[in-house]
């Protein structure tokens, strides 16, 4: 550095520091974020486990690109981003373990990139704390290694909002502009409607402040990620409006519907709470959920006092709009729906906790630190307990599907084959069959088509134990499995289908 030249200042979110000492600090910060991301990957593999079978929604996504399984019905609300995400593995291997490991590593990398974008906006320790909070939620750990879209929407939201803030602060930061494009595209690629809700405050800010350069990047990213979904709407559903209407119908007709209590019930470990009319869980399970907006509000208060309102207010606004449809416009709940909101709230919440623990003068507050540590220990205990119970329950359900598939093989139902009726989509995937439905949200065939298939290939109709099967299958041979009644059509060459 030349004599008499002042060192350049780099904003860290709490105070400025010269670049002469900032480079080692930045390296330590990056390593800290990498450690959080690495721990996230390891925790997924240890606590969720790579051997857990694929779930219903995962099967729909994975089957679209599977090397040896027929594609399941792809309904209007879904987007093909997850299918493309798993394609590098699922297109040539049917190993669930390999897919889980791949997704665990990929989600750890996604977390690191999403947090790294915010360097310079907040101190590394705040970002590491935010990451630690997010990944110790049972919801994040449970869905990290799964072929599901919501966590990837969360990563895209963090990337998009963080890069938006960076690009607005520095008009020469072209990397941030591309980050806006990439984050918006990732969200729209996974769930186009969620992407619109998340970016709504950004779009409003673009119009109010006439930030056309940032608006162009945002619109370009949303278009790049959503174009496939829109094209498919016209090719397969008759148009964009028709696809949106069909998606709304499948989700119970979207409209004003307070689902706050449904989300609280789902925190017990339900993958899907529909209908969601049970008792509320023990308050200890949802106390953290009620505390979250209070801490976020305090984080905003701290930001206003420190003169850095924008970098806290914007993620809070985007978190709010991301949560609106799942708290007020839908008649059921799934905890994964709010992952984008949790990710955006995590940074202001972590900032609030650090300010509670350390005063403005930099001195630690022992009493506050002890109380926060005690609260976090209780929080972690609850999250671990719910995660363990959820993984155990989910694993048992998927083992039952695999056992049903083995029984169907024993009964002669082998590929190429067709299953219809109760749980036909997941059981068909485990059996290696195609699936078809005449009624319901997944209706994609007709009775005539099923009977025609039965003349060529093995066909079975599944129903609850002692439940009435479809009329066209009443004369088919009945077999009682532990959880299902299975009616198998006469095998091809052994007579008509009944």
Instruction: Render 372-409 in DSSP notation, one character per residue.
Output: HHHHHHHHHHHHHHHHHHHHHHHHHHHHHHHHHHHHHH
Collect contacts of 267-273 with beta carbons under 8 A, ≥24 apart. Answer: 267/335, 267/386, 268/386, 269/138, 269/386, 269/387, 269/389, 269/390, 269/393, 270/333, 270/334, 270/335, 271/55, 271/334, 271/336, 271/390, 271/394, 272/332, 272/333, 272/334, 273/332, 273/333, 273/334
* Exposure b/e, 450-488, CB count within 10 A at least 16 = b: bbebbeebbbbbbbeeeeebbebbeebeebebeebbbbb
Whether 386 shows a pLDDT value over 80: the answer reads yes
For the residues 165-191, what does the mean pLDDT come to? 97
Q: pLDDT value at position 362?
A: 75
Q: Which of 490, 480, 467 is nearest to 404 (CA)?
A: 480
The closest of 102, 116, 90 to 183, measured between CA atoms, is 116
- Confidence check: pLDDT of 7 > 50: no
CA–CA distance, 294 with 51 (Å, rounded to integer): 38
Model pLDDT, residue 2: 42
How would DSSP label each residue in 133-161?
Answer: HHHTSHHHHHHTTSS-SHHHHHHHHHHHH
In angstroms, the CA 92 to CA 90 distance is: 5
Mean pLDDT of 56-61: 98
Rounded Cα gap, residues 404 and 418, in angstroms: 14
What integer is the mean pLDDT of 323-347? 97
Residue 113 has pLDDT above 60, yes or no: yes
pLDDT (0 to 100) of residue 6: 38
CA distance 357 to 392: 37
Domain ranges for the chain, please list them.
Answer: 29-393, 413-488
Give the whole-angstrom CA distance, residue 44 versus residue 100. 9
Query: What's the chain's average pLDDT?
Result: 92
Regarding predicted confidence, which is higher, 67 or 71? 71
Report whether pLDDT(140) > 90. yes
Instruction: Give the per-residue pLDDT at 494.
Output: 57
Q: Spell out the SS3 assignment of 404-427.
A: HHHHHHHCCCCCCCEEEECCHHHH
Q: State yes or no: pLDDT of 493 exceeds 80.
A: no
Q: Quick one: pLDDT at residue 248?
A: 94
18 phi/psi in degrees, rounded to 5 = -70, 145
- What CA dihedral angle connects 23, 129, 299 and 268, to 10 degrees? 160
Spatial strand order in the sheet of 477-480: 434-436, 418-421, 459-464, 484-488, 477-480
**How many CB atoms neighbour CB 236 within 10 A?**
11
Confidence of residue 11 (pLDDT cuts 50, 70, 90): very low
CA atoms of 348 and 190, how far apart (whole Å): 25
The CA distance from 5 to 390, in Å, is: 59
Average pLDDT (251-264) is: 91
d(CA 156, CA 162): 10
Nearest-10 crossing angle of helices 212-236, 174-190: 20
**Residue-level pLDDT at 497:** 41
Residue 6 and residue 19: Cα distance in Å, rounded?
10
- Tell me, what's the pLDDT at 363? 84
pLDDT tens-digit profile of 276-334?
A: 888 899 999 999 999 999 999 999 999 999 888 999 999 999 999 999 999 999 999 99
* 472 vs 474: CA distance, rounded Å: 6
CA–CA distance, 469 with 463 (Å, rounded to integer)? 6
Percent of the residues in the chain that have a pLDDT greater than 90, as a whole number: 85
Does the pLDDT of residue 340 top 80, yes or no? Answer: yes
Phi, psi of 480 (to 5 degrees): -105, 115
Number of neighbours of residue 80 by Cβ within 10 angstroms: 18
Cα 331 to Cα 263: distance, rounded to the nearest angstrom: 10
Rg (CA), the chain: 25
Token pair of 410, please? 């024993």
Given pLDDT bands bounded at 50, 70 and 90, which one contains residue 15? very low
pLDDT of residue 496: 44
pLDDT, position 13: 39
Local confidence band at 254 (pLDDT 50, 70, 90 cut-offs): confident
Instruction: Judge contact between 86 and 62, C-beta under 8 A.
Output: yes
């Amino acid at each position: 550095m030349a004599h008499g030249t002042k060192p350049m200042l780099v904003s860290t979110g709490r105070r400025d520091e010269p670049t002469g000492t900032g480079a080692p600090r930045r390296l330590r910060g990056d390593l800290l974020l990498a450690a959080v991301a690495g721990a996230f990957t390891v925790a997924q593999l240890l606590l969720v486990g790579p051997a857990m079978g694929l779930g219903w929604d995962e099967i729909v996504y994975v089957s679209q690109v599977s090397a040896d399984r027929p594609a399941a019905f792809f309904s209007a609300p879904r987007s093909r981003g997850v299918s493309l995400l798993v394609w590098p593995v699922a297109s040539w291997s049917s190993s669930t373990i390999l897919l889980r490991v791949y997704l665990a590593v990929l989600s750890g990398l996604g977390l690191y990139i999403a947090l790294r974008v915010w360097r310079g906006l907040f101190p590394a320790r705040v970002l590491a704390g935010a990451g630690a909070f997010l990944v110790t939620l049972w919801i994040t750990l449970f869905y990290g290694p799964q072929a599901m879209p919501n966590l990837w929407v969360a990563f895209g939201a963090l990337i998009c909002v963080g890069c938006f803030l960076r690009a607005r602060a520095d008009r020469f930061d072209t990397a941030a502009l591309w980050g806006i494009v990439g984050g918006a595209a990732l969200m729209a690629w996974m769930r186009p409607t969620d992407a619109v809700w998340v970016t709504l405050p950004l779009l409003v800010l673009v119009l109010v402040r006439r930030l056309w350069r940032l608006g162009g990047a945002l619109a370009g990213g949303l278009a790049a990620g959503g174009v496939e979904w829109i094209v498919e709407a016209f090719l397969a559903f008759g148009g964009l409006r028709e696809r949106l209407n069909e998606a709304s119908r499948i989700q119970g007709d979207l409209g004003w519907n307070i689902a706050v209590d449904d989300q609280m019930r789902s925190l017990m470990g339900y993958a899907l709470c529909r209908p969601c009319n049970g008792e509320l869980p023990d308050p200890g399970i949802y106390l953290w959920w009620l505390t979250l907006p209070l801490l976020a509000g305090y984080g905003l208060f701290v930001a206003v006092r420190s003169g850095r309102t924008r970098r806290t207010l914007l993620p809070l606004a985007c978190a709010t709009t991301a949560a609106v449809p799942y708290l007020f416009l839908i008649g059921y709940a799934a905890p994964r729906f709010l992952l984008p909101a949790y990710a955006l709230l995590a940074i202001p919440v972590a900032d609030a906790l650090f300010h509670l623990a350390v005063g403005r003068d930099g001195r630690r507050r022992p009493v506050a630190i002890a109380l926060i540590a005690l609260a976090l220990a209780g929080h972690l205990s609850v999250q671990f307990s719910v995660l363990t119970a959820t993984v155990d329950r989910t694993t048992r359900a998927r083992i039952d599907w695999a056992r049903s598939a083995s029984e169907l093989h024993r009964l002669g139902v082998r590929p190429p084959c067709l299953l219809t009726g109760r749980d036909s989509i997941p059981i068909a995937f485990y059996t290696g069959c195609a699936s078809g439905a005449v009624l319901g949200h997944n209706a994609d065939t007709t009775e005539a088509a099923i009977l025609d298939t039965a003349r060529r290939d093995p066909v079975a109709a599944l129903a609850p134990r002692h439940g009435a099967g479809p009329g066209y299958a009443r004369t088919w041979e009945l077999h009682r499995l532990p959880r299902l009644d299975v009616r198998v059509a006469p095998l091809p060459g052994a007579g008509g289908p009944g």
